[in-house]
Structure 1
């Protein structure tokens, strides 16, 4: 990979840039966080904001390499063996530190100890892990999953699983016998008695489920407009996890539109959203969520312009949403996922993401967006053809007027005048999303200037424009489009 390709990447879960060798503790935190998660690359000699190669002194490369090795050896535990190499191009010199996903987590800072020195990667930041995450890392080291752990609070014979047995019989045509429970790893033997795993408790209707997993629910809401200010309808789905996905899907169907069109001599019905893809995304949210994260539930939000699904837990490192058609499969919940497969709710062979990708092709007006938000994974089905109604426009205009008078005060009032570069950039992209180069050409500039870059950054910061590929700010195909707020600003300026 050359320097240009490196610069086109954005900082995130697996990538970090530093202009110079970080402080010893900061370097150790990043290395530990990468090892505890998906691995990652640290490039030293690249400034991130603005993104540019500052390079390192060629004569000091070997010395810096030795410092990096010593810091990692002295400060990180268990041992982490990174790959360190030099990248040189056009008299610019970088150091690339590649940290591989560790096989013996949790990794932590020796001087801090496990509880105060274990770090994980959340987005582009290193976050101190709490006890729940440390426990999850220890399970990963032992190659066991949270849903497979035994709960000795109540013998399996005393657990209320009548509802789950009925569902299992209905979906599979088979009885959920004691033998089937053992074969599916839903129960385990402890000192001569059989006890349920976390998975079976989640499938049960026993009071123990509400006691241990009160957060294992799906919160659904239909909001008015494009914000969370006003509810139209909401529902909290607190049933056992075998039925949650279907109930949540039916809630979505109640709140999206279905139209009809004439094709030849036939009338064809069509939902406004790709409902098969949404159903699959909801199922994934329930099946693959991280049930060890206490206090976090699955959230499904329906706005005028999109359907949004948020599931606790980061995307498994081996899954790449950008390659949805490649039939990927990696189950976090190694007991729950096979049970859902037996119930016919999911496909164990990785066809789910491909199903989403295939149906998205039939909806060019819907854009699939995904991102990691804190310790959750979020998928959005966004309507690109959404147009605000007159009442909502009036409300937002009033809000913007107040912002102009209060929050933004003189700053934007002065800069967003008709003759300034700020307003000209907004007008360039009023109809179509454009790249930096396209905007530069539209303004009559031969190349993208530093001033134009600053203007674009400020417009993004003030939520007047947005990136078309928000999760990868430096993607080669990156373009910029007006936000709803930006459109209304132009309307206000024209008055």
Structure 2
């Protein structure tokens, strides 16, 4: 990336612009925050707002470089070794300070000490780290993960893990015993007793999970329209983490459309979103979320115009969503990730993002966006051609591009009739009550619309009222 392209970038997790050398405390906070996180670059001689190349006096460059080096040495601890270089753009002189990701975190301001002087980078700002974040940085320094730490409130033999045992047997055809738990590092020896790690607590059905990790859950919601003012359906998934991803994925499938088109003699169905990619992102959210962050849960939100998945914890520095085609694997949870690989929930070779990129190529109408919001990572699957439905058609949401994908249905069909047909194409066994709840209408109104569709011959009922199914008549 050349300097002109760089200047067009917004300030963020790894980039900051300064018109002139700021006060010692201001720039020291940024340097400490970069070293504690993914590293970053500071460009001096470029104003941020408005973005403008100001430049520095050429005869002062060496003096400013010396000031920077002395300030970093005097004010930051442990020692940070920056790379300072001079650049010339449009005959103006700049200084670039490159800070690499540190190997000895937490880094902090000497005069304030570790508890009051440790900073992390959140978006384009420096945030004072609290004790839990400092603890996380100290684990990083020792190269241990939060999920590998033990809980000594109950011996491993007393922990209730029946659900996890059942799942593990189903996926691997192996029984869970103490030897397997040791091999997977789900239990560890301490003071001649074996105790569970945080990872095993999260896989358990024990009361300790709710006590230690009340927010280790997924909150799912289908909102009405494109805002959060009103929802059609919601679900809180608080089972053990081995089951959460599939439950959230099934919630998504219940609330998106599946169209059908005829190609030759075959009927071809297609989801309105790349569901394999969505499933992969949900799985990654469960596997790689930061379980040490208290009070935060995973959120799966479905709107008329997009699906949004948010997970606690920033993206690991070595993962780059802009290079999804390359194999990338960096596990925050070094015990949980191998277990998920063992039971086949995530890929062994870091192909997850590549899978997402491949399926997105088949959905040119869907745009993938990702961003870091506070201490969370968020992925959005957005309909590029979303159009708001006129208020006189109904309030259920967007018909999208599926209007022409339900066969030979005529153009006189109402909005709610079309939505019912789409729901039935997705699930021929759906009940009238489920249709009404999804559309946000009364059961009686739903029954009247279905009766009209049956009377016109567009909808057929096969079998009994209790055990039968719906069929769309395209003739």
Does TM, normalized by the shorter one, top 0.5? yes
Partner-residue secondary structure (3-state), 1:325: coil
By how many angstroms is 1:88 displaced? 1.4
2:13 match: secondary structure: coil
Q: Which residue of 2 aligns with 1:328?
A: 328
In 2, Cα distance between equivalents of 1:376 and 1:196: 27
Q: How does 1:154-233 map to 2 (within 5 A)?
A: 154-233=154-233
Contact 1:2 1:89 in 2 (8 A): no
Q: Is this contact kept in 2: 1:313–1:377, CA < 8 A?
A: yes
TM-score norm. by structure 1 comes to: 0.79
* Paired residues of 1:109 and 1:117 also in contact (CA < 8 A): yes
Tell me the equivalent position of 1:43: 43
1:407 maps to none
1:359 paired residue number? 359
Aligned to 1:73: 73
Q: Show the counterpart of 1:385.
A: 385
Partner SS for 1:249: helix
- Equivalent position of 1:128 in the other structure: 128
SS in 1 for 2:324: helix
Distance 2:4 2:253 in 1: 46
Query: Which aligned pairs between 1:97-176 and structure 2 lie closer than 5 A?
Result: 97-176=97-176
Residue 308 of structure 1 corresponds to which residue in structure 2? 308
Structure 2, gaps ≥5 residues long? 396-475
Residues 431-490 of structure 1 show CA distances to partners (whole Å, capped at 9, x for unaligned) of xxxxxxxxxxxxxxxxxxxxxxxxxxxxxxxxxxxxxxxxxxxxxxxxxxxxxxxxxxxx
Any idea what SS the aligned residue of 1:346 has? coil
SS in 2 for 1:136: helix
Q: How does 1:474-489 map to 2 (within 5 A)?
A: none
> Is the Cα–Cα contact under 8 Å of residues 147 and 199 in structure 1 kept in the other structure?
yes
**1:394 Cα deviation (Å)?**
11
Counterparts of 1:186 and 1:349, CA distance in 2: 22
Secondary structure class of the residue paired with 2:310: strand
**1:402 aligns to what?**
none
Shift of 1:377: 0.3
Alignment of 1:443-458 (within 5 A): none
Question: For 2:133 and 2:106, how far apart are their aligned partners in 1?
Answer: 9
Give the C-alpha shift of residue 264 in structure 1.
2.2
Q: Distance in 1 between matches of 2:51 and 2:27?
A: 20
CA distance in 2, matches of 1:222, 1:340: 27
1:106/1:138 contact within 8 Å kept: yes
| Structure 2 equivalent of residue 14 of structure 1 | 14
* Alpha-carbon separation, structure 2, partners of 1:341 and 1:2: 40
Q: Are 2:56 and 1:56 aligned?
A: yes
CA contact (8 A) 1:217 1:298 kept: yes
Task: State the TM-score, normalizing by the size of structure 2.
Answer: 0.82
Q: Structure 1 pair 171/2, CA: closer, same or farther in 2 (3 Å)? A: closer
Q: Which secondary structure state, in structure 2, belongs to the residue aligned with residue 371 of structure 1?
A: strand
Say whether 1:239 aligns with 2:233.
Answer: no
Tell me the distance in 2 between the aligned counterparts of 1:342 and 1:348: 8
Displacement after TM superposition at 1:210 (Å): 0.3
Q: Tell me the residue number matched to 1:92.
A: 92
Alignment partner, residue 376 of structure 2: 376
Judge conservation of contact 1:225–1:392 (CA < 8 Å) in 2.
no
Deviation at 1:389?
Answer: 1.1
SS of 1:98's equivalent in the other structure is: strand
Q: Deviations over 1:360-385 (max 9, x none)?
A: 00011100000000000000000112
The worse-fitting range, judged by mean Cα deviation, of 73-82 and 7-16 is 7-16
Shift of residue 2, structure 1, vs aligned partner: 4.4
Structure 2 CA distance, aligned partners of 1:198 and 1:179? 18
Once the two structures are TM-superposed, the CA of residue 240 in structure 1 deviates from its matched residue by 0.3
Aligned residues: 395
Cα deviation, residue 64, structure 1: 0.5
Q: Distance in 2 between matches of 1:368 and 1:174?
A: 38
- SS in structure 1 opposite 2:325? helix
1: distance between equivalents of 2:208 and 2:184? 20
Q: Which runs of 4+ in 1 moved over 6 A?
A: 392-395
| Cα distance in 2 between the residues matched to 1:228 and 1:165 | 38
Q: Deviations over 1:254-298 (max 9, x none)?
A: 000011011222110000000000000000000000000000000
| Conserved? CA contact 1:277–1:355, under 8 Å | yes
Residues of 2 paired with 1:137 and 1:273: CA distance?
Answer: 38
Q: CA deviation at 1:216?
A: 0.3
